[in-house]
A and B are shown apart, each in its own frame.
Chain A
Amino acid sequence: MLTLYGTSVSSRLLLGTARYPSPAILAEAVRASRTDIVTVSLRRETVGGKAGGAFFELIRTLGVRVLPNTAGCHTVSEAVLTAKMARDVFSTDWIKLEVIGNHDTLQPDVFALVEAARILSGEGFKVFPYTTDDLVVAERLLEAGCNVLMPWCAPIGSAMGPVNLPALRSMRANFPEVPLIVDAGIGRPSHAATVMELGFDAVLLNTAVAGAVDPAAMAAAFTGAIDAGRIAFHAGMLEPRDMAVPSTPVIGKAVFS
C-alpha cells in the first residue's frame, strides 16, 4: 500500500482528467485504471455556466479521491489563492502545487514553489509539489512541510519518458523514506515501468492516457506496467554486464569432435 499524508491507497497510478475525447471516455479510463486518485483543476466559470457542475458530478460518481491542482499559476500569490479556492470547492486539503516558471517547457519555478509550499503547509494544506529532479530543491520542499515529492521526468505532455535516469536514481537514494511520484513526461507504459523499477512509489500521468486512441485500454496498460515495475523493484533485478554469460550450464556438455 502507498501512504500519502496518512492516507493509504492501493493504486500507484494517479490519473489526470484533462484532454479526453468525452466525459464518458474519461469515466471509462478512470475505471479501467483502477486508480484511487484523480487530478482536477479550477477555471473561470462563464456567466450562468453549468460546465463545472457537470464535471463535478461526474467526478463524484467515480468514487475516487480528488487531488486539485494549481495548473497555470505563475506566482506564489496566484497558486496560494487557487489552492484555497480549490479547498473550498473540493473539501480536501490535498493540493498538487504547480508554479510554472517557463512557458515553453512548463518547468516549475522552484523558488516560488518552495515559498508557496511553505505558506500552504502552514495553513494546513497537504502539498504535493510538482518539482524538478533537483535534490536541493527537494530538500527545501521537505523543510517547507511537504511529505511527498513529485519530480518531473520530462516536460509536461512531452511523452519523452525519463530523460535523466541518474538524477531520478539519485533522488530515490537521497530520500528513501519520502513518497516519490513521477509527475509529467511519461509517454508510454514502458516509461512508467522504468521509473517504478527505480523504486519510485507512483506515477502521475494524463496525456499519455487521454491522448491514446483507446484511453481505457491504455489506462489498463499503464496499470499493468506500474505493477510490473513495482514488483520487479522488490524482486531485485540483475545489473547489466559487459560480457555474455551463458544461461545454460556448460558442465556435462557433450563433445562431438
Chain B
Amino acid sequence: MTFIINGEEQQVAAVTLADLLTALDYEGEWLATAVNGELVHREERSGFSLGERDRIEILSPMQGG
C-alpha cells in the first residue's frame, strides 16, 4: 500500500501499524506514532489497520529548549 510517512510517499507491504514499523526497521520504546492526525498508542499498533494513503507520523525524542 502507499502511505505518507513523515511527509514522504512510500510503498510498504503492511497491514497494521506495527507491521509497517517492523518493515521499515523502526524499533524502540521511544517512538511515538500518529495516523491521520490521531495518536496511536504503543500498545494499539499491532491492532491498528492501515488504509491506502494514510498519513503516518513517527516521532522520537530530540533535544529541545
Contact = CB atoms under 8 A, between A and B. Distances in A.
B33 to A, nearest CB: 8
Given A85-B32, A85-B39, A156 B65 contact: yes
Nearest to A57: B30
B12 to A, nearest CB: 10
Contacts of B26: 45, 47-49
Contacts of A56: 28, 30, 60-61
Interface in B1-25: 5-7, 24-25
A17 B34 contact: no
A89 B62 contact: no
Interface stretch (A3-11, A35-43, A171-179, A231-239): A35-43
A88 B26 CA distance: 16
Q: Tell me what chain A mostly uses at the interface: helix, strand, loop, or mixed.
A: mixed
The size class of the interface chain A forms with chain B is 35 or more
A90 B39 CA distance: 14
Contacts of B42: 88
Given A42-B59, A85-B39, A85-B59, A18 B65 contact: yes
Contact of A81 (B24, B34, B41, B63): B34
A35 to B, nearest CB: 13
B22 to A, nearest CB: 11
Nearest to A16: B65
Contacts of A59: 61
A42 B63 contact: no
Nearest to B40: A88
A43 B39 contact: no
A25 B60 CA distance: 21
B57 interface: yes
A85 B62 CA distance: 13
Interface centre among B24, B30, B34, B64 (most CB of A within 10 A): B64
B7 A53 contact: no
A51 B6 CA distance: 16
Interface of A: 16-20, 26, 39-45, 47-53, 55-56, 59, 68-69, 71, 77, 81-82, 84-86, 88-90, 156-157, 206-207
